[in-house]
Structure 1
């Protein structure tokens, strides 16, 4: 059994996409980040960076004690290696998949996240910051659009690279991006959205989206007021 510590963010959706594709048995433990549940001692024992998602595998393939993993890219790679799915064994295709997974972790996610912050959450609207991150998000969309111009998926077959990137494209309107300007990316986006497992993964989020959100002033203090003193 897998325990998934989850909230309804792009990084959380990555893992439910994988789990719904494979049918692995798992249990969701919601971590309401707007309420500060990511700072509980129990969660920090699994995810010392106080970020979702995190995963505990109670039946690792080595037969040993449970393994806990934090960081969504690491979780996707772990699950792909555990199941032998969505990460090719062929050296070249595997390498291509992993480099695009890391591209998302190091580029698309952080830049789109800053886009969200300065455009939606920041108490002062700083034109330079908004323009900086909207433009950089657009550049990254263009990089992905170019990669997809002659293929259905990012790295050959549908893979963890697609699962990592897709949730960060879902909020394209919030990121002030018009998918019509990126036709290959748009075609890829619609293909993944139509997958049955994608529908199931996003339906799960509706169970938790009715709970306290991240737009209240108190939630913003919790999410964006962290510094060295909040590391416990």
Structure 2
């Protein structure tokens, strides 16, 4: 047992020139030159030290076993938790308005009274201000976005620097790519099976739909009036009246 434990730098064993912080920071070798166990063996060593001994051990040996168990657990658990993560957290923050806008398209199961089937939502990343545009066809997404960029440039004197959207063909096509490239706008597409990258626009759609359906239910109107209710719901969310919360 002593031959197995000497090469390791345990936090409760004071070996000359060897410290627990040095072991975790230096990597697979200790400052004294002894190699650490292979990663594939650390689980086995942890199980060995975690199991109760067959015979009672003296005080010093018990402290050694306790130190070995703690050290192996900290090393193994840390790397395992990192590798078992399914995905990292998506942190996208804009420093000014219109530096980044999120876009998404919602398809209604019911054709509206005015002939609309979809609506496009645009959310500013910095202010969380949203715009909604009812559409009759998916092909109108590109023209709506180009008009929105021109409106922002004229009314605010600012340029949208990046557009975040999913991989829908209404966003990812030759016309839109050529337009954004010509105007110097960065087009960010979500990675496959990673809808969380465009989560801000998707959450805004859910919030807008909840307000829209509530207004229809309160007014006892059929679902085909959703386009008219959409404008009212968007206005209420903008001014911060809905839910007594200001989202701007």
Structure whose CA Rg is larger: 2
Q: Which has the higher contact order (CA 8 A, sep 6+)?
A: 1
Band of TM-score, shorter chain = under 0.3
Structure 1 length-normalised TM:
0.25
